[in-house]
A = this chain, B = another copy of it.
Amino acid sequence: MKANNPRFRSHCPINVTQELVGDRWSLLIIRDILFARKTHYGEFLTSAERISTNILADRLEKLERHGILSKTRETENRSRYRYVLTQKGQDLLPMLLEMIIWGARHDPETAAPAEFVEQLTQHRADFMRQVLAAVE
C-alpha cells in the first residue's frame, strides 16, 4: 500500500519530474507564482493560456497534495486563499529557467525579453541564486 506514493512508470528522475509537473498546466501555474507574483485563484485565470476554472482547481489541489505549493487562508477575508510555493516548488526554478532559455532560443516569436534570456544564459547558476533571493 503506497497510498501517498504515486505509482510511477519508472523511478527515472526525469520521468518522475514529468509525471509530477509534466501536465499541460502545472508549470504555468508555478510560473505565474514565481515570475508574475500571482497568489490568488482569480489571477491564474487571467493568464494568456486561459485555464478553465475546474482544471485550475484540480491542479491547485494536486500541486498541494504533492507538496509543491501550500494554500493558506487570508486573515482578513475568510473565503480567500493564498497560494505559495513550498521549498519543493521553489526548487523547480532552475528547471523553469532552462525551459525559458531553450524555448526562447528556438522560438522566433518568443515572448521572452531578449535581455533577460541573454543574461540568464550567461550567468546560469549564479543568476539562479540571484533570482531566488529576489523572489524570497
Taken together, the copies of this chain in the complex come to: 2
Q: Mark A19-63, 1 if CB is under 8 A from B, else 0.
A: 010101001100100000000000000001110000000000000
Residues of the B chain whose Cβ atoms lie less than 8 Å from the Cβ of A49: 9-10, 12, 15
Question: Is B100 within 8 A of A98, CB to CB?
Answer: no
Q: Which B residues are CB-close (under 8 A) to A14?
A: 27-28, 31, 96, 99-100, 103
A interface bracket (residues with beta carbon within 8 Å of B): 35 or more
Give min CB distance, A113 to chain B, whole Å: 10
Chain A interface mostly = helix
Q: Do A10 and B94 touch across chains, with their CB atoms under 8 A apart?
A: no
Shortest A69–chain B CB gap in Å is 14
| A75 beta carbon closer than 8 Å to chain B | no
What 6 pairs between A and B have smallest CB-CB spacing? A13-B103, A17-B103, A95-B98, A16-B103, A124-B125, A13-B104
Alpha-carbon distance between A20 and B112 when the two chains are bound, in angstroms: 17
Asked if A88 is at the interface (CB within 8 A of a chain B CB), the reply is yes
B124 x A13 contact (CB < 8 A): no
